[in-house]
Chains A and B, each alone.
Chain A
Amino acid sequence: MTHLELDSVKKVFGDPEKEGVVAVNDLDIDVPDGDFLVLLGPSGCGKTTTLRMIGGLEDPTEGEVRFDGTVVNDVKARNRDVAMVFQDFALYPHMTVRENLGFGLRRENNDMTGTEIDERVTEVAEMLEIEELLNNKPAQLSGGQKQRVALGRAIIREPRLFLFDEPLANLDAKLRKTMRTEIDELQSEVGITSAYVTHNQEEAMTIADKIAILNDGELQQLGTPDQVFNEPANLFVAQFVGSPDMNLFQGALSERGDSYRIEMDAASFDIPKRLVDTEIDTDEVLVGFRPQDLYQARTRATNGPEFDTQVRVVEPVGTEAIVHGTSALGDVTAKVGRFHDLEPEDQMELTIAPEHVYLFDPTTESLLKGRLVTERAEGGTSADSVEA
């Protein structure tokens, strides 16, 4: 059980005096005991580097890594009592599954007897349903089975921390979902603080207690899945989180009594000031609509903008459909419920409630107004089912 803190952590590869690569910059992250942190960000943003610094495989150039308040920068990886699941599994190819699982228990800083180790190996193998594979070598396993062994090798020790580096990246979509649930259940069962790297936002939203979104080595936001979805700190987070991508339009903003008036190319609407937490003093804004917040005006009236849209493509996704259309505002994407009757070329009128509209400062790209969660009479798309 460990409270993990990263304090102003920086990692520069190469010669810091010359032009080293800044992989991670000034990172502050606090993960309370037992929490599941997900590090999310595009490729090359420093996720793996961060994880490796927590595990002790990489030394921070600056800053502190703390476990339960104790600085561990100088503690060697093998003494940190941290288990890591590598993206490519890194199973020991010359050992059987049984030996792979037991390896960590046989080390000198672990004084278990042979029988205790065997029992523990069997227990974990049963939990992961790999008992029949115990005598196989890794080369004889499928991707999903290797995955389980890698996972087993980590959980067998009950370490202070779990680190997962894109552990599901090599699996097919179905297995990924199953394994994701398994990791989630397992972690809440054993309650060990975990850090999990992914660049899949959907995975992050499902599994995380807290998400840390990184870009170019810098922390963009640290928050719960709801927070990063509804109140993204900036445009980057707003665009990275949520699927399909947020619709963005330019707009002009003016104050009108106790409302802000937003004027876009072909629509305008008012946002009551009580829905806005920040003091807005720009007259240009970026207006964001989440596809799942758009409705057909004929099914639901709002105080928000209404705009005509011609359907271009209808993409069914499970019980819903993603509609790409051309509107007076520009290209627009909307997510509609199951009982739609839309086809290409159809005309429809889309609308969005003012509380769901996002506003960003176009120069600093920081959030001016986020999405307020309200009871929805219909549609079935609330923030809780973002991943659907």
Chain B
Amino acid sequence: MSYVDQAQSSYRSATRYIPESLRVYLPILPVMALVGLFILYPIAQAIYSSFFTKSLLAPSEAEFVGLANYVEIWADPDIHQVLWNTFVWVTVGSLAAIVLGFLMGWLLDEKLPYTSVASAIVLIPWVLPRVVGASIWQFMFGGSQGIVNELLVQMGVIDEYIVMLGANQYSLWPPIIGMVWRLAPLFALLTLTSLQGIDEHLYEAARMDGATPWEQFRYITIPMMKYNLAIGFLLMLIYNVRNFSMVWVMTKGGPGVSSSTLPVMIYRAAFIDFEVGFASALSVLLFVVLLVFSYYYIKFYDKVRGDM
């Protein structure tokens, strides 16, 4: 009898009072417990809380209100602005990060000298602690000493310093720029690795077939990278939807809610207004959005693996 057989039979005898169908789950019980405790429980708790009005100041006075919090979201005067901001933030931010990142990755792919040094430098924004990166941008866009203002004046785009972070019409954009700065390197690296994964012979074959550089890019590079690009794009979307620190550090979501996104609104509701129920309902909303993105992410991921 081998050790495996021995172990199996002693496992069977130790669990003989448990039905066979449940017995197979026993070994993964610890993992399931951890997942339940740290992942499922908070989610369930958030959903549960979203059905109550509950203040952080008086948690014991929670009152069941059914879907009232969700109705309140819909009625909230700020919610449309915030959803729109989130949408702009996510789409513009992700697209810009992808275009810029792709360009950077493409340049890094042997078209720049000292590729390895360059890749390391490019990664700095991603490696820096979020708050540090955000503070740098806040400083650059900030009031009277902001370097961005100085640059724009120098370039003749504007005549005199303007208020950016504190102006309703501009306040969303500096955090988006900061976020693109943070995410583009990640995408650059993804681009670089997928570009380097393309067999050089394919380009040579295409050249022999008469393909121009544009045609090589269009018919070889892009199709060979499309799954990586799609997955990268979904990753960017997810990062962007969740982002909080960049906005919070730079503008606190203001002035008003002019630069608030969903996570900022949740934070405000929970820790400034202390409305836990309302915040939970907003979180559930965000959760659903993320779930949709994740679903597509996983679907793409499976497709890529299936194609390989």
Contacts and interface: CB of A to CB of B under 8 A. Distances in A.
B201 A77 contact: no
Nearest to B214: A108
Interface of A: 55-57, 76-79, 81-84, 86, 88, 90-95, 103-104, 107-110, 153, 157
B224 interface: yes
Interface in B221-238: 223-224
A81 B211 CA distance: 11
A86 B212 CA distance: 19
Contact of A57 (B204, B210, B211, B215): B204
Interface in B197-220: 199, 201-202, 204-212, 215, 219-220
A83 B209 CA distance: 7
Contacts of B224: 93-94
A104 B210 CA distance: 6
Contacts of A109: 210
Interface of B: 199, 201-202, 204-212, 215, 219-220, 223-224
Contacts of B204: 57, 77, 84, 86, 90
Query: Which 9 pairs across A and B sit closest by C-beta, in order of nearness?
Result: A104-B209, A90-B201, A107-B210, A90-B205, A77-B207, A94-B223, A84-B208, A78-B210, A78-B207
Contacts of A78: 207-212
A153 B210 CA distance: 12
21 contacts: A55-B208, A77-B204, A78-B208, A78-B212, A79-B210, A81-B210, A82-B208, A83-B209, A84-B205, A86-B201, A88-B201, A90-B199, A90-B204, A92-B220, A94-B224, A103-B206, A103-B211, A104-B209, A107-B215, A108-B215, A153-B205
A87 to B, nearest CB: 9
A88 B207 CA distance: 16
A83 to B, nearest CB: 6
B210 A110 contact: yes
Q: Which of B207, B209, B211, B215 has the most CB of A within 10 A?
A: B209
A107 B220 CA distance: 13
A86 B205 contact: yes
Contact of A92 (B205, B207, B208, B215): B205
A83 B208 contact: yes
Contacts of B219: 92, 103
Most buried by A among B202, B204, B205, B220: B205
Contacts of B202: 90, 92-93
A93 B227 CA distance: 14
Contacts of B223: 94-95
A78, A84, A108, A157: most-surrounded residue (chain B CB, <10 A): A78
Contacts of A77: 204, 207-208
Nearest to B198: A93
Contacts of B199: 90
A82 B215 CA distance: 18
Contacts of B209: 78, 83, 103-104, 107, 153, 157
A47 to B, nearest CB: 16
Contacts of B208: 55, 57, 77-78, 82-84, 104
A296 B212 CA distance: 64
Nearest to B205: A90
Contacts of A153: 205, 209
A78 B201 CA distance: 14
Contacts of A55: 208
A110 B210 CA distance: 9
A101 to B, nearest CB: 10
Nearest to A83: B208
A109 B208 CA distance: 12
